[in-house]
Amino acid sequence: MELTELGLDDVLAKQATCGPSLRLARVTAVDRGRYVVRNEAGEVPAELTGKFLHAAATSVDMPCVGDWVGVQYHDADSHATIHELVPRRSFLRRKSPGKNIDFQMIAANIDEAFIVQSCQFDFNVRRLERYLVMVNEGHIAPVLLLTKTDLVSPAELERMHGNIRIAGITTDIISLSNVTGEGVAQVQALMQPCKTYCLLGSSGVGKTTLINQLLGHDELATGAVSGTGEGRHTTTRRHLVRLDNGALLIDMPGMRELGMMSTGEGLDDSFGDIAALAARCRFADCSHNNEPGCAVRKAIECGELDAAHYQSYFKLKAESDFNEMSYLDKRKKDKAFGKMVKSVLKDGRH
């Protein structure tokens, strides 16, 4: 197998300047700080060197699934140590779950993200908007997959499509049925050899079932359906698999929390309709509350802009700004603490 078959393109190849004793490999699995990397010869377990860990200033500097890394192989290439991280072309990240204000890297170097929602129990436009912000921020093209369409009526499915469009979401939508297989061929047609894709969605929406359908056999275990009709969580780690047509697909556990941090362009891209309206406001710093000449408020009042869609934008922006301020404050405190420790150690040597 060539490295190009693992997704190495010209852009990444130019950035992948490993040391003389290192070889290029791709991270194919991460599980609680343990890694699996793959090169032309196959997959082996890997771990980070102490130097790498010491140099990593933040969690963003740590490898994740899809990353390209410079590794050194040991013991007849049976395992490896990770020495370097190749700059990412694209990425998925979120705020770390819980109260900790930090980034969590999810996956990297992805060409297209399939955002998966079940038509029964899981469908939620507001959550969909969060996924789109995450994907757009990481410079990844999104596609929406609505699964389990056999559990709702055609009228209900049409209503869901309508609600997505009302929210200003113009991304392509593919409807899937795990029972009839409807839509699977459309997904397969989108997936090109040597390109990397990922599945994003809550637990039990049918991601693992879809992967098995794309693979053509049940390689991954699926969970039984619960009493409420929702599937149970089955994927326990992030990992990359290669399909028969040469496309690369990253599966990952369902995300219960989708905290926003430093969304920037991702927010503007996901809410492009609001950004366009804001550009027409009389004042450049319009807060869209009570200012005269506010194009956003006018659009809501005349029914041109959905009020719930705007409230979602406002909430995500406020959440992102708050978390980013908290993160920057944390970084300042960390740096100040580091300087204090160095000062104490220096004084102790005199």
The listed CATH number (1.10.1740.10, 3.30.420.10, 3.10.20.30, 2.40.50.140) that belongs to domain 3-85: 2.40.50.140
Yes or no: say if 284 and 295 are a contact pair by the CB < 8 Å rule: no
Q: What is the pLDDT of residues 37-70, one digit of tens each?
A: 999 999 999 999 999 999 988 888 999 999 999 9
Q: What is the pLDDT of residues 159-191, one digit of tens each?
A: 999 999 999 899 999 999 878 889 999 999 999
Backbone angles phi, psi at 102, to 5 degrees: -160, 165
The listed CATH number (1.10.3720.10, 3.40.50.11240, 1.10.40.50, 3.40.140.10) that belongs to domain 265-344: 1.10.40.50
Give the integer Cα–Cα distance in Å for 335 and 329: 10
Q: What is the pLDDT of residues 294-333, one digit of tens each?
A: 999 999 999 999 999 988 888 888 887 887 777 677 666 6
pTM: predicted TM-score of the whole model, two decimal places: 0.81
Residue 338, burial from CB neighbour count under 10 angstroms (0-12, 13-18, 19+) = exposed
Q: What is the dihedral of CA 333, 338, 339, 341, to 10 degrees?
A: 120
Say what the pLDDT of residue 231 is: 43
Yes or no: say if 9 and 58 are a contact pair by the CB < 8 Å rule: no
Q: Which residue has the tokens 């698999």?
A: 241
Say what the pLDDT of residue 223 is: 45
Mean pLDDT of 211-221: 72
Structure tokens at 7: 């997704």
Query: How many other CB atoms are there within 10 angstroms of residue 37's CB atom?
Result: 26
Domain 92-251: CATH superfamily, name plus number = P-loop containing nucleotide triphosphate hydrolases (3.40.50.300)
Does the pLDDT at position 92 exceed 70? yes
- Domain borders along the chain are 3-85, 92-251, 265-344
Nearest 5 degrees, angle CA 142-CA 58-CA 312?
40
